[in-house]
Amino acid sequence: MNDLKKKSNPWALLPIGVFLVLYLGLGITLEYGLKIEMGFYSIPIVVAFLVAILVACFQNPALKFDNKLEVMAKGVGDKNIFTMILIFLAAGIFVGVTGRDSAEAVAYFLLDVAPPKLAVAVLFVSAAFVSTAMGTSCGTITLLVPIAVAVSEASGFSLAFCVGSVMGGSMFGDNLSFISDTTIAACNTQGCAMKDKFRTNFRIALPAALLTIVLVLALSLTTDAGSVVEKDYNMVLLIPYLIVLAGGLAGINVFLVLLAGIVSGAVIVLAQGAVDPLTLMGNMGSGASGMFETILVTVLVSALCGLVREFGGFESLLNLIRKCAKGNKGGQLGVGLLVGAMDIATANNTVAIVMAGPIAKEISTEYGISPQKSASLLDTFSCIFQGILPYGAQMLLAISAVAVLGHAISAFDIIPFLFYPYMLAITSVISILFSKKNK
């Protein structure tokens, strides 16, 4: 059952193809054909995966249905999958406890101490910090794009420039945060510690962020900037985020880190009277429930991948990569392009990582790629593609947030100002070219 090299069956990939056609095709039709706002995300991804699993169950009639259920159960019952689900829940509760005031405090504090000409660079740095602390690019965009609009109105900087900087910074944290669902998925599918993945990833992300800041400053200094927005902020609310960041960097168990963040956050918001105990419990529940679809998708993808692997689909993909990729560097590029293709098809970097993860594990073993490097490649390349997709959740949320405030902007206005994903692509390729084979 586990000897993949004895069988290779391209038809085993049919369920994945069915999912991609169903989800991507209907999403594009709704979003761009029928002009339905957020139409791409109106497609129930859970239903699309159930259809794909149904197709897989009709394949390989030689294997009884009960045996297929066993194969799916083994895929879902993997220790890494269960660990991932628990971390998803804990991360959701943490975000529910800390709320939005903490994130806004970072932005307003930095805008308060920086000169007006640095306002857009401040937006990028604020988004990078907030997304790293919160572990969500979409949440960061929702919180900070209204601030970016206010900065544009007050300072005279281009609206697309301000929004693009927030989006770029949000992808920085999405890629690096210890509680980001992409980090959790990448580390658990590749079997590496989060601190090891962070160190490997940071060497790629930091140069990209610094190059982005240089580009933003170069463009900002050619613009006559006016005043910037001001608002009261409470820096005490940052303590839970700092605890999570410090604990993650120190290599403390992620559950303990999140527990400390949840407890400290609850104590602070209750002590300051920001919420009452009943509201706090409701926020915790809302944070956890916000992860339910991600968890369900993780379970369904694991079941589907179990069948695809059993029927020879993984070996078929590996054979294709073997023909195209030569050596360790080729294998790394293969992992990056694999997750990038999945992300283009699903417009969801977490789903892309969960789908590509088992195949990437096989590639990394065969080509001598370390688990932390493989996890870094999955997370980084998925963020590169997700960060610039015109139909990605991040882009659609940014456009919607701008529209709510009475402004009109399109994805193609913003795309030229997405400096960070472009710089991250450059530093990622350079890191592959100068990498050494894992011993």
Give 76 or 69, the one with higher predicted confidence: 69
Model confidence band, residue 345 (pLDDT cutoffs 50, 70, 90):
low
C-alpha 157/C-alpha 276 separation (Å) is 40
Please check the confidence at residue 281 and state whether its pLDDT lies above 50.
yes
Please check the confidence at residue 74 and state whether its pLDDT lies above 80.
yes
Res 308: pLDDT:
82
Please check the confidence at residue 103 and state whether its pLDDT lies above 70.
no
C-alpha 4/C-alpha 310 separation (Å) is 8
Res 2: pLDDT:
44
C-alpha 197/C-alpha 194 separation (Å) is 5
C-alpha 195/C-alpha 254 separation (Å) is 10
Per-residue model confidence as pLDDT tens digits over 350-397: 878 887 888 889 889 888 899 999 999 999 999 999 888 876 778 877
* pLDDT > 90: percent of the chain: 20
Res 222: pLDDT:
80
The least confident of 93-107, 257-271, 371-385 is 93-107
Res 432: pLDDT:
92
Q: How far is CA 196 from CA 244, 355, 376, in A?
A: 16, 22, 9
Top-confidence range, 45-49, 112-116, 215-219, 399-403: 215-219
Res 124: pLDDT:
95
The least confident of 141-155, 239-253, 276-290 is 239-253
Res 424: pLDDT:
96
The least confident of 37-41, 138-142, 270-274, 294-298 is 37-41
SS3 407: coil
Average pLDDT over residues 98-114: 73
Model confidence band, residue 438 (pLDDT cutoffs 50, 70, 90):
low
Query: Do 104 and 77 touch, CB atoms closer than 8 A?
Result: no
Handedness of CA 11, 378, 32, 41 (dihedral sign): positive
Torsion, Cα 413 416 417 419, to 10 degrees, reads: 150
Q: What angle separates helix 239-249 from helix 194-220, to the nearest 10 degrees?
A: 120
Res 261: pLDDT:
84
- 251 dihedral zone (left: phi>0; alpha: psi -120 to 50; beta): left
Res 3: pLDDT:
44
Q: Taking all residues of the chain, what is their mean pLDDT, rounded to a whole number?
A: 83
Res 251: pLDDT:
67
Please check the confidence at residue 1 and state whether its pLDDT lies above 60.
no
Give 8 or 189, the one with higher predicted confidence: 189
* pLDDT > 70: percent of the chain: 91
- Scan for tokens 């695809």, then name that residue: 308
Average pLDDT over residues 75-87: 74
Res 391: pLDDT:
67
pTM over 0.85: no
Res 348: pLDDT:
77
Q: 246: how many CB neighbours lie within 10 A of its CB? A: 12
Query: Do 371 and 191 touch, CB atoms closer than 8 A?
Result: yes
Please check the confidence at residue 249 and state whether its pLDDT lies above 80.
no
Q: What angle separates helix 14-28 from helix 45-58, to the nearest 10 degrees?
A: 150
- Classify residue 56 as exposed, middle or buried by CB count within 10 Å of its CB (0-12, 13-18, 19+): buried
Query: Do 378 and 190 touch, CB atoms closer than 8 A?
Result: yes
Please check the confidence at residue 165 and state whether its pLDDT lies above 70.
yes
Please check the confidence at residue 413 and state whether its pLDDT lies above 90.
no
C-alpha 301/C-alpha 295 separation (Å) is 10
